Structure 1
Amino acid sequence: MRADTVTTLTRWVRHGLLAVFLTVLPVAVFAAPFAAMVMDARTGEVLYSKNADTRLHPASLTKMMTLYLAFQAVESGKVSLDSVVTVSQNAASQPPSRLGLRAGQKIQLRYLIRAAAVKSANDAAAAIGDYLGGNEANFATMMNRQAKALGMNSTTFRNANGLTRQGHLSTARDMSILGRHVIYDYPQYYNIFSRRTADAGIAKVASTNRRFLDAYDGADGIKTGYTVAAGFNLVGSAQRGNKRVIATVFGGTSTAQRNAKVAELLDIGFARAPNRANSPQPVLMAKASSDLAGPEVTGAVDTGDEGEAPGTMQVAANTANKVAPASSLRPMKRPGTAAAPEALIADAAPHHDPEAESLAVQLAANAVSTPAPTGPRPLPRSPQIQQAGTAPGTVEPSAIEGAIAFAQSTAPQPETLALGDEPQFDPDMVAEGDADPKDPVFIQTSTPQPETLQLAEQKAPRNDTVILAAMTPPAPAKQQTREVIARASTSGGRNWGINVGKFNTQYAAERMLLKTALMESDALGSALRKVAKTKTAFEANFVGMTKAGAELACARLTARATDCNVIGP
């Protein structure tokens, strides 16, 4: 009897060990290949790489390209953040992670962007692709052409969300390149990737990247990815001082392991990156846009982090919100998209003309007085820089300041909305990619959520005449442009100045003044900005300075490879 019992127990143990072996073996056999890259974001210099050119499954890192093309379409004026998208059957049929879209449903583009960037919603990304490209195949063609234009030579896209598809492959190098362009080509939208939560219209969604953002000092983005075939992927970016580093990992074994590896790689990057980067002359980054990202929200519920078993739900509130820095160095001007004639693909190279710029200035002046602006203001104001008047017959400089945009736009920009006082929410567990969560991953409301924009704590209805960022200016307003004639103060020996360039348009001169003022706020803190119109050009000058102050400012600007000449009395 005892022998039979021992034999039975032995058989059970053997069967149990065999079951464990058969369970673990597929994981070991089918573990996703590992690849990594570390890049100095300022210059594009590779600081570390491993299998960086191996073509692997990018998973939801794909959504960076979908969002890049969406930002491009908005900035070109082809669409706006308020454009209403009709959800296609293709988008509505996508597997989790999902926003919960239904075929035929109408939703604003801004909400789809938030859901794709923050929650990594597959249905939202597919809806964006079908809207911009007409269908999945056309949008994939647009994605591939843009990838080639950015130098992503080993990438092939087949869909907008990154769900596993034969031939849908990329590399750690290419995704690092794409992440860098998202950061620097569309900085006014980049802060969407630092959000812990967002209002996506029909749901309040939680970030798939919260753990990394909270754990690593200086982290402010950018995109996670997970599928069974890909493993746990992440393109992460962080800024410390004047250094910005991008680290990319393919094939992580878990969220925690992937995040730890990215943190390790970022540490390597910050240790190896020089304090001063020999990069092209920097272009001012726009101020983060709260109009797209919206405020942090409460009530967003998710279960299980990407690819992990659901069942643990933990809610935390009022965590500190990290947003994208106001300024940084930018890579070379992004390539144009002349080779992509499909509808709604934006031309990356701006076209300026004096009449359009004058119109943009006038509209911006009107937008400043509008009680409820609806779009982002891309350039931050510097409280230390005072504004001087322009030559007679020119537009009021304060209005121009509102119209100055970064290099690829000539259209007016409304006021940036404050983020600091908004309530914040921080989920602990999030579903992502094609990992199938067992519990609801959002709270759905009966009606879409309207924008809760505030200016000076006063609510007002949306003014439809205010155009969102970088849309083509509408018909000129009837209000006449005001003329301001001002003289710089010459008291206390402040009759010196500096010239930082001559330009074909007043817009370009004003933009250079703003960029320079923010770049050297210490040296130019008491100076006045002034555009002087001559017969042949618009001169960008800082006036009202002492001789010593002017010489010091020029010396500092010259060290930054910026042209500068001292102007005497």
Structure 2
Amino acid sequence: MGGWNAKLTGALAALAIAASPPVFAGLAALAPAPAAATSLFGQSRYAALLMDASTGEVLYARQPDAERFPASITKVMTLYLVFERLAAGQLRLEDRVTMSARAAAQRPSKLGLKAGETLSVDEAIRALATKSANDVAVALAEHVGGSEANFARLMTHRAHALGMTRSRFVNPSGLPDARQVTTARDIATLSLAVIRDFPQYYGYFQQQQFVFQGRVMPNHNHLLRTMPGVDGIKTGFTNAAGFTLAASAVRDGRRLLAVVLGSPTRPGRDSNVEALLASGFRVLAARQAGERVQVADLLAEPADLNDALLSTLVEQGSADPAPRR
């Protein structure tokens, strides 16, 4: 694999950065660590976007407007509506949310409360942000919107108002439904809207674990624990969607947001997002130093990254457990 590793390193530099001639000598320093966006190029469902949150500049994009299933990233939209009502005083963190029979019957991941049991709005938010509990998502939607179907209509309406023109929601959880679609660009738009509009609530996505009735549930966003600067926001997985992740990180006062949809494995998703963020921060640092560096908006597949390497990378991660999250 030594030869392929060398080819991969070269491909990463070509993938991540398009530079003017004076900067070519510095490409090696700017290239991300191994396992970047190229490791997923062969996957038909793969879509990604990297954005500078302060300027809105798209630093990298791969099929950013292709329709994809959002899986549990859907819950970011659910929580956006909840945050709106909290900020408007129409909802309180101490309000009690009752688990309906419909909510209790949702498929995992779930908190497992029985019909008629309750939890606070604060606990419900934490359960969505960390455990990604589908039963709680439905109960919270019913509490806010009167019914799951009505809440889903509110989700779609609000999404379009935010500029998420290619998104449609039919449930608050992200459980499989062919009608529920989004794009990497729309998820980036939503994630930035949460950070911008509700900084007082964004911290929910930073919590490393949620403790409920004596149970400790770690956040599914592993980058919170493994990559310095990452402070949110949400993972997802279904068989139809693959592994999805929107993650935001801050370094030296600059915030980047990366979205990856359609990864075949969790490690592939996580390493891809990490590499995109690392590439973006290296480019920002180079620009700050006065170098003329530009990251390509849309990039073709590097010619020297072949199917054999892609198959190897996918195979190495295929044994990873795939809980629904």
Could you state the TM-score of these two structures normalised by the residue count of structure 2? 0.74
Q: Does 1:44 align with 2:53?
A: no
Among 212, 215, 219, the alignment partner of 2:223 is: 212
Aligned to 2:244: 233
Aligned to 2:30: none
Over 3 Å counting, the alpha-carbon distance change for 1:118 and 1:255 in structure 2 is: same
Aligned to 2:79: 67
Task: Output the CA distance in 2 between the equivalents of 1:120 and 1:184.
Answer: 22
Task: Output the CA distance in 2 between the equivalents of 1:59 and 1:32.
Answer: 17
The amino acid that maps onto 1:171 is: T
Asked if the contact 2:208–2:225 (Cα under 8 Å) also holds between the matched residues in 1, the reply is no
Task: Output the CA distance in 2 between the equivalents of 1:252 and 1:173.
Answer: 16
Aligned to 2:110: 98
The amino acid that maps onto 1:266 is: L
Aligned residues: 252
The amino acid that maps onto 1:121 is: A
Among 245, 249, 255, the alignment partner of 2:260 is: 249
SS of the counterpart of 2:153?
Answer: helix
SS of the counterpart of 2:86?
Answer: helix
Task: Output the CA distance in 2 between the equivalents of 1:202 and 1:73.
Answer: 29
Matches within 5 A, 1:406-417: none
Matches within 5 A, 1:353-368: none
Q: Does 1:177 align with 2:189?
A: yes
Shift of 1:162: 0.5
1:290-320 deviation per Cα after TM superposition (whole angstroms, max 9, x unaligned): xxxxxxxxxxxxxxxxx9438xxxxxxxxxx
Among 106, 127, 142, the alignment partner of 1:130 is: 142
SS of the counterpart of 2:85?
Answer: helix
Q: Give 1 or 2 for the bigger CA radius of gyration.
A: 1
1:203-234 deviation per Cα after TM superposition (whole angstroms, max 9, x unaligned): 4322111x211221211111000000000100
Aligned to 1:77: 89
Relative contact order higher in (CA < 8 Å, ≥ 6 apart): 2
Aligned to 1:361: none
Asked if the contact 1:157–1:169 (Cα under 8 Å) also holds between the matched residues in 2, the reply is yes
Aligned to 2:7: none
Over 3 Å counting, the alpha-carbon distance change for 1:149 and 1:176 in structure 2 is: same
The amino acid that maps onto 1:252 is: S
Q: Does 1:164 align with 2:170?
A: no
Q: Does 1:187 align with 2:199?
A: yes
Shift of 1:139: 0.3
Unaligned runs of 5+ in 2: 1-42, 290-318
Task: Output the CA distance in 2 between the equivalents of 1:75 and 1:217.
Answer: 30
Task: Output the CA distance in 2 between the equivalents of 1:432 and 1:261.
Answer: 20
Shift of 1:257: 0.8
Over 3 Å counting, the alpha-carbon distance change for 1:66 and 1:182 in structure 2 is: same
The amino acid that maps onto 1:65 is: M
Task: Output the CA distance in 2 between the equivalents of 1:267 and 1:205.
Answer: 28
Over 3 Å counting, the alpha-carbon distance change for 1:193 and 1:432 in structure 2 is: farther
Task: Output the CA distance in 1 between the equivalents of 2:140 and 2:320.
Answer: 27
Task: Output the CA distance in 2 between the equivalents of 1:190 and 1:85.
Answer: 21
In the TM superposition, structure 1's runs of 4+ consecutive aligned residues that sit over 6 Å from their partners are none
Shift of 1:275: 4.9
Over 3 Å counting, the alpha-carbon distance change for 1:270 and 1:132 in structure 2 is: same
Aligned to 1:155: 167
SS of the counterpart of 2:210?
Answer: strand
Using the aligned pairs only, state the percent identity.
42
SS of the counterpart of 2:262?
Answer: strand
Task: Output the CA distance in 1 between the equivalents of 2:257 and 2:159.
Answer: 18
Task: Output the CA distance in 1 between the equivalents of 2:127 and 2:223.
Answer: 18
Aligned to 2:310: none
Point out the structure with the larger helix share: 2
Matches within 5 A, 1:242-391: 242-273=253-284, 275=288, 308-309=320-321
Asked if the contact 2:108–2:324 (Cα under 8 Å) also holds between the matched residues in 1, the reply is yes
Asked if the contact 1:208–1:432 (Cα under 8 Å) also holds between the matched residues in 2, the reply is no
Matches within 5 A, 1:6-17: none
Task: Output the CA distance in 2 between the equivalents of 1:106 and 1:261.
Answer: 38
Shift of 1:272: 3.4
Q: Does 1:89 align with 2:80?
A: no
Q: CA RMSD in A?
A: 1.8
Task: Output the CA distance in 2 between the equivalents of 1:167 and 1:220.
Answer: 31
1:319-372 deviation per Cα after TM superposition (whole angstroms, max 9, x unaligned): xxxxxxxxxxxxxxxxxxxxxxxxxxxxxxxxxxxxxxxxxxxxxxxxxxxxxx
Asked if the contact 1:55–1:154 (Cα under 8 Å) also holds between the matched residues in 2, the reply is yes
SS of the counterpart of 1:269?
Answer: helix
Q: Does 1:143 align with 2:142?
A: no
Q: Does 1:54 align with 2:66?
A: yes
Shift of 1:101: 1.8
Shift of 1:271: 2.9
The amino acid that maps onto 1:271 is: R
Task: Output the CA distance in 1 between the equivalents of 2:116 and 2:147.
Answer: 15
Aligned to 1:121: 133
SS of the counterpart of 1:188?
Answer: coil
